[in-house]
Amino acid sequence: MGNQPTTMDSLAGVKLAKADGSLVEAEKALAGKELIAYYFSGHWCPPCRRFTPMLKTFYQEASALGVEIVFVSSDQSEEAMADYMKESHGDWFAVPYGEKTAEELSKKYDIAGIPSLVVVKLDGTVVTEGGG
């Protein structure tokens, strides 16, 4: 394997999903991005449903500035996750439902509740936790 492109260790070799179900390799999805915001959320969570539209508005401007959002779902089913993405999310990526990467990210960034937003550099260095 040797030299991986400068991408986060957590997402190396992972495919990310879009709301339409298409999959893209994380390396391609994050090419040219400076920051990644992991959005830990779930459709069943009222505070998440209030926060998501604000994040969508932010994303419309921030995506042009080198920020990508990766949704990490706490939904109970793939269907609930897909509905949530189609209903309220911006055009960002998600860790596919049931992918072990989602659990690994929750542990790595010590996620205790949702919604949580963790902003990191491409190499995984944390910039902010809790979206603050």
In degrees, to the nearest 5, what angle opens at C-alpha 83 toward C-alphas 113 and 56? Answer: 65
Model confidence pTM above 0.85 = yes
**8-state DSSP, 22:** -
Q: Is the predicted pLDDT of residue 1 greater than 50, yes or no? A: no
**Dist CA 107 CA 81 (whole Å):** 20
pLDDT digits (tens, 9 = 90+) for 50-99: 999 999 999 999 999 999 999 999 999 999 999 999 999 999 999 999 99
Band the pLDDT of 131: cuts 50, 70, 90: low
Tokens read off for 59: 């994303």
| CA–CA separation, 32 and 76 (whole Å) | 33
